Structure 1
Amino acid sequence: MTQTEQTGQAEQAESRPRLGRKRDHTRDPEILDAALDVLAETGYDGMTIDLVAARAKAGKATLYRRWSSKADLVLDAVACMKGSDLDLDSLPDTGTLRGDLVAMVRPPSIRDSERKLKVMTGIVSMIARNPELAAAAHEALVEPRAAVNRVFFQRAIDRGEVRADLDVEKLCMVGPAMVAYRSLMLRIPVDREFLIANIDEIILPAAGLRAA
Structure 2
Amino acid sequence: MTTAPDQTATDTPRLGRKRDLSRDPEILEAALDVLAETGFERMTIDEVAARARAGKATLYRRWPSKSELVIDAVACMKRGAYDLSSLPDTGTLRGDLLAMIKEPSIADAERKMQVMAGIVSMLSKSPELADVAEEALVAPRRAAHRVLIERAIARGEVPADVDIDLIASVGSAMVAHRLLVERRPVTRAFLVSVVDAIVLPALGLSEKR
The TM-score normalised by the length of structure 1 is 0.93
**Structure 2 match to 1:70:** 66
| Partner SS for 2:27 | helix
1:209 alignment partner, one of 175, 192, 205: 205
Deviation at 1:165, TM superposition (A): 1.0
List 4+ stretches of structure 1 deviating above 4 A: 9-12
**Structure 1 match to 2:140:** 144
Deviation at 1:182, TM superposition (A): 1.2
**Structure 1 match to 2:131:** 135
Give the 5 Å matches for 1:1-212. 6=5, 9=7, 13=11, 17-212=13-208
Greater fraction helix: 1
Deviation at 1:64, TM superposition (A): 1.1
Matches of 1:103 and 1:170, distance apart in 2: 21
- The one-letter code of the counterpart of 1:52 is V
Unmatched 5+ stretches in structure 2: none
Residue correspondences, number: 208
Deviation at 1:10, TM superposition (A): 8.9
- The one-letter code of the counterpart of 2:36 is A
CA RMSD of aligned residues (A): 1.7
Matches of 1:41 and 1:182, distance apart in 2: 17
Matches of 1:17 and 1:169, distance apart in 2: 54
Deviation at 1:105, TM superposition (A): 0.9
| Partner SS for 1:58 | coil
Deviation at 1:18, TM superposition (A): 2.8
| Identity percentage of aligned residues | 63
Deviation at 1:17, TM superposition (A): 4.9
| Partner SS for 1:25 | coil
Deviation at 1:179, TM superposition (A): 1.1
- The one-letter code of the counterpart of 1:102 is L
- The one-letter code of the counterpart of 1:138 is E
Describe the superposition over 1:10-39 as per-residue Cα deviations: whole angstroms up to 9, x where unpaired: 9963xx653111111111111101100000
The TM-score normalised by the length of structure 2 is 0.94
| Partner SS for 2:41 | helix
Matches of 2:87 and 2:48, distance apart in 1: 34
